[in-house]
Structure 1
Amino acid sequence: MTDGEPIPEERGAPHRGAVWGAAAWSAGVLVLLVALPWAARHRLPDPLATHWGGHDPDGSMSPTGAALFPAGTWLVLVLATAALHRFGRRAATGRARGATGAALAAGGVLLTGAQASIVHANLDHARWQDADPVGTAVAAVVAASALAGLLTWLAARPRGATPAGPRPTPGAPVMAVPPGEQVVWLSRVVNPWLQLTAAVLGVCAMGGLLAPASGLIALNWSLVVPFASTSVIVLACSSVRARVTARGLHLGFGPFGWPARRWSPADLESARAEQRGPAQAGGWGYRINGLGTTVMLRRGTCLVVRNRRGAEFAVSLDDAERGAALLNSLIARSDRTAVTHGDDHR
């Protein structure tokens, strides 16, 4: 594909991980919405304040209603996004897909944050009219929900994928690139189970923050930090995007493409496609063993690059044969350029 042409949207990219992650997030938020008032039921008035007109509360619900109303609101939002994904699959791509993910993230944070604020405001009061004000908490919850929505939209925004076109002849080590032609190859792979694990760990970390925010328990960072940090690490290892251009190979990990690794053609000795499985790599994720470094997200074809020092780096990717062929062409071009410059100096 030449520079200047539009890069098409992802086609056939594995979105099962996003679906499973959304399912885990939806279930976790539903549990938190119901569990927070239920866990504090012996310390809450009946009814309890659920609406504030300025500084003082001016509306109330029974504890059951206070648990079921936000849970029902959340279910409506989840079902609406699921219906869009199921029945509007062709339309729910690119920006629309990012918007639905952002709605789930922002809505979940908003509802659970509001529920924690309501429980905390009513805690240990005999009457709902005596509930504490929630102005500062509401502002913090709205800001957190907006940030969650923005980050999710950025992570799900459309990116290019491998362009359509004929594959190179099997086993061909080099792709023919006309002189002066600018080319690009892109690929992406996702491990849905790692994304699901990251979502579950994230919900656990969120629960560890909401329970103290509700006043039920004291904040325990030794519980929250391991869940939150492990969730971020697993999420970063759950997907990878690869891009080959005249500048070389760029690998971006996780939904934001960070952290990243880069190799210029001058840094590389060769590239190839090779069949590998988790048993050879030493497991799933980012692995280092006798084969070198392997990012194993699914068994099958891997793009393997060898640098000038002899170290190898492999990553499981779709269409790795074409990526390796293009890289070898760029490496050969870089070698020819280096030789030409050497002759000129002589």
Structure 2
Amino acid sequence: MSAPSHQPAPSSAPRSWALCLGTMLVMLVVHLGSTALWHQRLPDPLATHWNGALVADGAGGILTHLLAGSFVLVLLGILMPFSARSAAGSRTGAPLLVGLGNALLVIIGGMLLSGLIGQLDAPEALGTSMDFRVLIAVLLLGIGWGVASAFLVRAALPAEPAMSEHLLGEPAAATVAFTPGTVISSTVRMPKVLLLVLGALIAALLVFTFTTRTEGALVNWSLLPAAVIVLLASVLFLSGRVVVDEQGIRVYGGGLVKLLHVRPEHLVSAEHRDISPSEFGGWGLRISGAGVAFITGAGPGVIVQRKRGAARIYSVATTEDAQKMALVLNSLSTTNPL
């Protein structure tokens, strides 16, 4: 009698990709097609920025308009399914990310369309307003399609979520004798796809800073500090070095700034297991109901329970690093009982 074969659990990833890329392509066709169809009725330059009252206060060439809109749509269309993949198997994470992404794609594409309609036959772009009827229509359409997408992704998931492995290697009770002077260091970096996305975003902000014509310098140059902030935040909160030694566990954001330090006297226990951004609300330094996390992607991690306060969660480079760190931290905690 042959042993029963194990069938792989259904995955929502193919459906997530199909829905997000399909929505992205439709909105790209609307964006590029409407510009090509109406280009003779549009002013030159075109509006590229609107204020809080949805009135155009910045303008640029038609190429800037096409590239800016396409960049945002492609960015969302690719980033959302990548994010949903890290939440594969979650009955809330993946559907929520896909639904939110598709809703944003429709709404942003609709805003670009309403901006064009508001400029039709106008002598100049500055001072024109977005078409509110189109905005209301795309807002409702975006919400509806976002909800429908979330249900479609959820339907592709198994009826019962797969049980995740609680611990890797030895049980949590296992300890090792801690030797003073022991130092375990693990360097973590952001996923390559996220690095590319952030690099493209910073480049786009710099390009728009120097190419967008506005009524005042404030709107134009406000993009430059935004680029600097994105760069610094990316370095400090999306890469770092996790260290475990006789002082406990801590992470250095960007390898420089100390974050999330748990000292031995505050330790209760530590475990090592695979973690994903969907558990803690995304990449980087995150705060959620599960605790405070420094997470750079799906993979091995160390979860530290404290005597007071929420848990601390750290991404590490390898499963071996996670195992060693958990064992050392559990050894340290036994020397500092409650």
Normalising by structure 1, what TM-score?
0.41
Structure whose alpha-carbon radius of gyration is higher: 1
